[in-house]
Structure 1
């Protein structure tokens, strides 16, 4: 016999019971969701970020990484090497007489330069501004570290400029300068820091390696000899290389295959461009093998232009930088002939291929406008001048090196900007 159907009252009681059960369950679920909503949101965001299409840099390019010593970044699209010179009454950044470390070959005021106009020009990039040179920041950064300039007399000038920019905030008893063979060392004692210059005009071993007696007409460079000098560069934290001028003896250059003490020397005459590329490759090989990009910044300063032919900027056919007080106002002027441009291209090509990040200090174009800033005749002369030379100043004007203070202080402002702001 079948059980009787439930009464309507019993059915309603059961329905109300189920409703309370589902209501309680819903409230509990909402409570849990509110309690853990942040976790749910994080899980969702992470999953979304992991699964959305990549927006990284195009294939074949690396994302820009901040290099050692960088404290910030330059304005987007800022090329500090493209700009113009503007007159600035607040310059120079120091006085010639205030810096006892300037070589007598660069003290133009002491040797009779008739004006100081060359000291008052400031470099203004087209799309941004250079950060002000901060000697305190740089010295604090160098605490317990070494900065070294390696190369020829033009790099030595940049080294001296750097010392002059820094030394005035260091008490006399807390600084020193020493010279030992190929190396000069300025020490900031309270910072346990050194700024050094190492004479190596070719970077490789050469017959011009004597820091004093090196004026040799038949220049000879030994192939594969970077370690000859490189052993003195180990442990440096900030390195600035240059090499260029000494290679410019013509379209051919002599390379030694073997050793300088070989009785029968194996010498090959090769195109200068090829010889220069050999040196660049050796330098980059040494850097990659001996330096850590997470700890050491490496810079390379491009060629310093000459102003030995005034006809190149529309001047007198027999003139040069002597008695030049104006800047070259042609923005497209470079002063580089086909041969020089080819060698300059080697720098760009080899640095681009380097696995180690090399920062180029491209001072060539901005310096090419400054025919006014050379030491000219206003320097200590190596040899007594003849009556014929004295009668013709153009004949002995130095249109290679630069007065200090002057242009090379701007090189170091660019160096400072690149070191800290890339």
Structure 2
């Protein structure tokens, strides 16, 4: 056998070594992809974008746009590996907000005449519009686009009702605005007041309704709002006065949270409101909330036929009144925020996880199946999408002086429309 000269490696052995190294490199790259959720294509795209950014002298706004553009291009690659949305296999809470500068607006605050004036941020003077171009992208599944014709076919001959407070009314308005432009003027009707609203698509015999009840259970602030939270009294064991309006509805979407957060303890009456200040107990709001959700669940189990009615419960819509939650020490609530919080799994002080768990615990024990529409996690990130100071008070747009006082006037509970509630309805559509 011929011994190769010292320091030389046989050609066949060299080929084997090179192949092993290449295989190890590929395996390592794929392991990193699995651990970080980043494909090799994404890594190249990110590197290219990073290189471009490092040679640029653009402003911070341009940097934000570059980041957003990069995220959008990554999303296109990700879609190839995702499965079609399936209710039992896809999580709507695991995802990220992706900026899409080419997103087409399904409606505007000028094109839809049914929006509350307090929510039309662009018309109320908001100078930026980036908040309109963010899309919620699921990690493992493709979230279907809101298809108007498909929605109307699913609602043919049916009643869809949103039940809750002003945030639910905003979701109702969003839903109506998403479909109304596709219906000829003479083929649609609308009736609205502060408490109950309905929109009808005549050709489909379909109605989309809103029913006002901020606590779901009965309270002394149902008909005439009691401004002082400390004077509100709830009947956490009674719901029938409201529930009689839900009988016969084909699709019910419930939500209640924000009004419970006004005080630490809630006055609860076990009989009627006749006794006023004398006939109540004070309960921790979390205990009262759980009792109220149980009362709602008992009514659903007793009076709803799951063969004819579908029931949804939308989880809490978080407020953003503490800028320290997202690390802005000099911030004033949600005022002047123009970008979502990018941190995965972000949750601030406006989200009470114990109350969230109460919904889960109660729903799991119900006989009638209830679909929990989890909008909380995706909404947690959207510190940029509240109406803030671009709203109205007593029928008038805030003055320049009022806008300079966000401590008093910034609304970090309600959402601009178009905006976040459109995504809630995209999730609802995915489950319909």
TM-score (normalizing by structure 2): 0.76
- The answer to whether residue 184 in structure 2 is matched with residue 199 in structure 1 is no
Deviations along 1:212-241, whole A, 9 cap, x unmatched?
x44332221013220010011110000000
Residue 79 of structure 1 corresponds to 91
SS at match of 1:96: coil
Residue 405 of structure 2 corresponds to 392
Residue 134 of structure 1 corresponds to 147
SS at match of 1:247: helix
* Closer, same or farther: CA 130–281 of 1 in aligned 2, 3 Å: same
Residue 418 of structure 1 corresponds to 431
* Closer, same or farther: CA 250–75 of 1 in aligned 2, 3 Å: closer
Picking from 358, 380, 403, the partner of 1:346 is 358
* Maintained 8 Å contact 1:142/1:191: yes
| Aligned mates of 1:143, 1:388 — CA distance in 2 | 49
TM-superposed CA distance for 1:147, in Å, is 0.4
Residue 53 of structure 2 corresponds to none
Equivalenced residues, count:
346
* Closer, same or farther: CA 258–265 of 1 in aligned 2, 3 Å: farther
* Shift >6 Å, 4+ stretches: 383-388
Picking from 97, 100, 118, the partner of 2:131 is 118
Deviations along 1:84-117, whole A, 9 cap, x unmatched?
0111222332222111001001100110010211
SS at match of 2:199: strand
* Maintained 8 Å contact 2:322/2:349: no
Residue 298 of structure 2 corresponds to 285
| Aligned mates of 2:194, 2:419 — CA distance in 1 | 27
TM-superposed CA distance for 1:342, in Å, is 1.3
TM-superposed CA distance for 1:355, in Å, is 1.1
* Maintained 8 Å contact 2:85/2:143: no
* Maintained 8 Å contact 2:156/2:204: yes
Deviations along 1:12-34, whole A, 9 cap, x unmatched?
xxxxxxxxxxxxxxxxxxxxxxx
Deviations along 1:169-217, whole A, 9 cap, x unmatched?
1111111211256211111112111100000000111121126x44332
* Maintained 8 Å contact 1:258/1:265: no
TM-superposed CA distance for 1:386, in Å, is 8.7
| Aligned mates of 1:373, 1:263 — CA distance in 2 | 39
Picking from 215, 220, 232, the partner of 2:233 is 220
Stretch deviating more after TM superposition (403-412 or 220-229): 220-229
Residue 26 of structure 1 corresponds to none
TM-superposed CA distance for 1:391, in Å, is 3.5
* Maintained 8 Å contact 1:91/1:121: no
Deviations along 1:357-410, whole A, 9 cap, x unmatched?
110111111111111100011111138769974442343110000001111100
Deviations along 1:219-277, whole A, 9 cap, x unmatched?
21013220010011110000000001111133321101211123774200111111001
Residue 246 of structure 1 corresponds to 259
Picking from 372, 380, 390, the partner of 1:360 is 372
Deviations along 1:269-289, whole A, 9 cap, x unmatched?
111111001111111111112
The structure, 1 or 2, with the larger RCO (C-alpha pairs under 8 Å, 6+ apart) is 1
* Closer, same or farther: CA 365–264 of 1 in aligned 2, 3 Å: closer
Residue 311 of structure 1 corresponds to 324
* Maintained 8 Å contact 1:161/1:409: yes
| Aligned mates of 2:193, 2:405 — CA distance in 1 | 37
Residue 168 of structure 1 corresponds to 181
| Aligned mates of 1:188, 1:76 — CA distance in 2 | 31
SS at match of 1:321: coil
* Closer, same or farther: CA 268–386 of 1 in aligned 2, 3 Å: farther
Deviations along 1:136-183, whole A, 9 cap, x unmatched?
111122121100000001111111000001111111111121125621
| Aligned mates of 1:283, 1:75 — CA distance in 2 | 24
Residue 289 of structure 2 corresponds to 276
Deviations along 1:38-97, whole A, 9 cap, x unmatched?
xxxxxxxxxxxxxxxxxxxxxxxxxxxxxxxxxx97187321221001112223322221
| Aligned mates of 1:264, 1:96 — CA distance in 2 | 43
* Closer, same or farther: CA 75–416 of 1 in aligned 2, 3 Å: closer
SS at match of 2:137: strand
CA RMSD of aligned residues (A): 2.1
* Maintained 8 Å contact 1:309/1:317: no
| Aligned mates of 2:187, 2:369 — CA distance in 1 | 34
Picking from 327, 333, 336, the partner of 1:320 is 333
Picking from 95, 111, 116, the partner of 1:103 is 116
